[in-house]
Structure 1
């Protein structure tokens, strides 16, 4: 089946849906789109179901040729999209004709861009998901390579120009405050360290990828010693022996023995995933119910709104 023929995958491009469910007990990472906000908008632009697989492009540099007429949508990091050399912004639908080339330029702010197509990309499903976790080295679940053909589930779709309203777009150069829901070991941390964690500024280090982000900043001085290894949730903030936080993301290991003062909700984890080395952030503690309610509203918005006829805004159904 025809689709997009990859000319250059850039730094790294992988297919990601919303991730695997029910396989962490077998040692498989959840995987899935790091930034569910941008991922959800890429699919919403095409009226795709929420779980449709997109191409997750790291730092731009992606280039492909359309082998058939098709519609795509792009959302995420601040970058330019070029079709046959003509520049357009992201966060919108794009019409491609057979023979057109599309390029995603290097990002100006943010790390990740999502490229969607009607119905998602028709790649191999393993363990209930199309998501690629490169480090697990599972045959048939690999990063996108030059020459790969990325085929849409729906071969054709009616093009409708749509743009994500500015108020909904991500702005990844903004200063970030991450909300921590207290975790199982919260009570084991000394109050002075909890205060240190939430009153100081941290920076994203160079050691940051889909597994997690190491942060530079003031070390916690009296963190509890290691615990018996236990299951880890995506978004967990671990405090290793050096006292500096590690935020675990979608491709993280399934168990670990470092104590955790708190866990980020998925929306906050997605905001963090878009930040580049050197960017600053802060922590604060949050109420579990507030974080859960925000996630409920987030999903209701995408399932219970529809596009206006001009494709410039949405209304609740």
Structure 2
């Protein structure tokens, strides 16, 4: 096992994968990466399974020392990643050497960044997942966020190989802004709202309050009117479900949501838009647009086709050569920065 040494942890850095699926009946949420698209991009770039665990970094990045030569990739929110104080490119394969220091600057866009390591993190997988569920103290690194001095194991046997330089096509890289229109499927309790209430929901702008975390986002804005109260018999809660409690303001349920809830749900955000919601922060604005389930399924199928195509393209270029050493350079040409890696093979 190789080790990543944490010198500074950042405010909230955890290990997250594709989620802990199948345990909702026992009260265990699926959890996993808030931005599942960025997680998949990062893993594809380093040759992992798309849902392998990566670091989920929130708002401010950690400072990490690598104790072996490794392959990494950084995606999601842009926090100015750098190695040995030299800025590195995102959405591409990066080779690092033993002793290199990864650090981050200020937040440029989004709020969650993902760092995948070739081979994946060598932590336990309770209930089939490495994801950290903070409230339950399950998974990840000791069931908690990273702290100063932590030593994170990596499966080095799978990481010591050359896989080429991989880049996510520019047209597929998501753009994160401070306002977003999320597409939704209306229901399942839409009959519990007045016509004016649904019109308010679909035609108003809401602001993400400071009551937001991996469990849910509370929005501030125009009140949504119920017909006869907000309470219902408790039912299942999905990622992206939008509850409207008695106060009339929406709450979007996120990755670490509770498994059941007793408030009316006016709509559910479609799967392809959840990664963009995951990148919103306090003060950002969101609107909602109604689409039907057939359109939502079409959007999801198109995204899956893009990811599958990229994965297959990279697999064909997997050279599987052992790496002896790597040097990274940042070259500036005509006002544009380029990250260049030079590898020496055994």
TM bucket, shorter chain: over 0.9
Give the alignment's TM-score, normalised by structure 2.
Answer: 0.85
Shift of 1:109: 1.4
The within-5 A match list for 1:45-124 is 45-124=45-124
Alpha-carbon distance in structure 2 between the residues aligned to 1:135 and 1:249: 14
Structure 2 unaligned blocks of 5 or more: 318-337, 339-346
Q: Which residue of 1 aligns with 2:218?
A: 214
Q: Which residue of 2 aligns with 1:158?
A: 162
Asked whether the equivalents of residues 213 and 247 of structure 1 are also in contact (C-alpha less than 8 Å), the reply is: yes
Instruction: Pick the structure with greater CA Rg.
Output: 2
- Specify the SS of the correspondent of 2:225: coil
Q: Which residue of 2 aligns with 1:227?
A: 232
Asked whether the equivalents of residues 244 and 250 of structure 2 are also in contact (C-alpha less than 8 Å), the reply is: yes
- Specify the SS of the correspondent of 2:287: strand
Asked whether the equivalents of residues 66 and 97 of structure 1 are also in contact (C-alpha less than 8 Å), the reply is: yes
Shift of 1:196: 0.6
1:5 aligns with 2:5: yes
- Specify the SS of the correspondent of 2:265: coil
Q: Which residue of 2 aligns with 1:175?
A: 179
Q: Which residue of 2 aligns with 1:295?
A: 300
- Specify the SS of the correspondent of 1:303: helix
Q: Alpha-carbon deviations, 1:95-145, whole Å to 9, x = none?
A: 110111011223211110000011322211001111001011238322222
Q: How many residues align?
A: 311
1:203 aligns with 2:207: yes
Q: Which residue of 2 aligns with 1:184?
A: 188
Asked whether the equivalents of residues 79 and 89 of structure 1 are also in contact (C-alpha less than 8 Å), the reply is: no
Asked whether the equivalents of residues 46 and 118 of structure 1 are also in contact (C-alpha less than 8 Å), the reply is: yes
Asked whether the equivalents of residues 126 and 138 of structure 2 are also in contact (C-alpha less than 8 Å), the reply is: no
- Specify the SS of the correspondent of 1:300: helix
The within-5 A match list for 1:247-258 is 247-258=252-263
Shift of 1:89: 3.0
Shift of 1:222: 3.1
Alpha-carbon distance in structure 2 between the residues aligned to 1:290 and 1:33: 24
1:276 aligns with 2:281: yes
- Specify the SS of the correspondent of 1:228: strand
Give the alignment's TM-score, normalised by structure 1.
Answer: 0.93
Q: Which residue of 1 aligns with 2:247?
A: 242
- Specify the SS of the correspondent of 2:93: strand
- Specify the SS of the correspondent of 2:21: coil
Asked whether the equivalents of residues 65 and 100 of structure 2 are also in contact (C-alpha less than 8 Å), the reply is: yes
Q: Which residue of 1 aligns with 2:145?
A: 143
- Specify the SS of the correspondent of 2:166: coil
Alpha-carbon distance in structure 1 between the residues aligned to 2:257 and 2:228: 22
Q: Which residue of 2 aligns with 1:315?
A: none
Shift of 1:79: 2.2
- Specify the SS of the correspondent of 1:37: helix
Q: Alpha-carbon deviations, 1:59-115, whole Å to 9, x = none?
A: 132110010011100001022111111112322222110111011223211110000
